[in-house]
A and B are shown apart, each in its own frame.
Chain A
Amino acid sequence: MSTPLITTRSSPGVLRRASASGTPGAPPARGAWARRAPLLPALIFMIVVTQLPFVGTLVISFMRWNALDPADRGFGGLSNYRNAITDPSLRSAILTTVLLTATVVLVSLLLGLGLALLLDRRFFGRGVVRTMLITPFLVVPVASALLWKHAIYNATYGLLNGGLTWLWSIFGSSHAPQPDWLSNVPLISVEASLVWQWTPFMMLILLAGLQSRPSDVVEAARVDGASTWQVFRYLTFPHLRRYLELAALLGSIYVVQNFDAVFTITSGGLGTANLPYAVYQTFYEGHDYGQASAEGVIVVLCSIAIATLALRTVSSLFREESL
Chain B
Amino acid sequence: MTGRSTLVRRSAPLCALLLGSALLTACSGAGGAGGTVGSSAHSINVLMVNNPQMEDLQQLTAKYFTKSTGITVHFTVLPENDVRDKITQDFSSQSGQYDVATISNYETPFFAKNGWLAPLSADAQGDSSFDQGDILPSIQQSLTVNGQIYAEPFYGESSFLMYRKDVFAAKHLTMPAQPTWAQVADLAAKADGAQPGMKGICLRGQPGWGEVIAPLTTVVNTMGGTWFTKDWKAQLDSSTFTQATNFYVNLVRAHGEAGAAQSGFTECLNDMEQGKVAMWYDATSAAGSLEGSGSPVAGKMGYVPAPVDQTKSSGWLYTWAWGLQKASHNQGDAWKFISWASSKQYEQLVGTTLGWSKVPAGKRASTYTNPGYSAAAQAFAQPTLTALTSADPANPGVQPRPAPGIQFVGIPEFEDLGTQVSQQISAAIAGQTSVSQALSTSQSLAAKVAAQHAGQ
Contact = CB atoms under 8 A, between A and B. Distances in A.
Query: Do chains A and B directly touch (beta carbons under 8 Å) in the complex?
Result: yes
B416 A268 contact: no
B166 interface: no
Contact of B261 (A70, A174, A178, A270): A270
A23 B423 CA distance: 57
B207 A269 contact: yes
A182 interface: yes
B85 A68 contact: no
B333 interface: no
Nearest to A72: B456
A71 B110 CA distance: 12
Contacts of A270: 207, 261, 423, 426-427, 430, 432
A183 B420 contact: no
Interface in B400-456: 412-413, 415-416, 419-420, 422-423, 426-427, 429-432, 441
A156 B268 CA distance: 10
A68 B432 contact: no
A271 B427 CA distance: 9
Interface string B69-91: 00000000000010001001100
Contacts of A246: none
A108 interface: no
B89 A284 contact: yes
Nearest to A154: B259
Given A89-B420, A285-B85, A287-B88, A182 B413 contact: no
Contacts of B110: 68
A67 interface: yes
B413 A155 contact: no
Contacts of B427: 269-271
B238 interface: no
A157 interface: yes
A88 B115 CA distance: 34
B423 A157 contact: no
Contacts of A286: 413, 415-416
Contacts of B413: 68, 286
B88 A68 contact: yes
Q: From DSSP, what is the main secondary structure of chain B's interface residues?
A: helix
B223 interface: no
B258 A285 contact: no
B415 A285 contact: yes
A184 B416 CA distance: 24
B106 to A, nearest CB: 12
Given A267-B208, A284-B85, A156 B92 contact: no
Q: How large is the interface on B (under 10, 10 to 19, 20 to 34, 35 or more residues)?
A: 35 or more
B259 A68 contact: no
B258 A178 contact: yes
12 contacts: A67-B92, A68-B92, A70-B92, A71-B114, A156-B274, A182-B259, A182-B261, A183-B432, A270-B207, A285-B415, A285-B419, A286-B415
A267 B261 CA distance: 13
A157 B261 contact: no
A122 interface: no
Contacts of B412: 66, 68-69, 287
Given A269-B423, A270-B423, A285-B85, A183 B416 contact: no
A67 B262 CA distance: 30
Contact of A184 (B115, B263, B276, B430): B430
A156 B110 CA distance: 38
A9 B258 contact: no
Interface in A144-188: 154-157, 174, 178, 180, 182-184
Interface in A247-273: 267-271
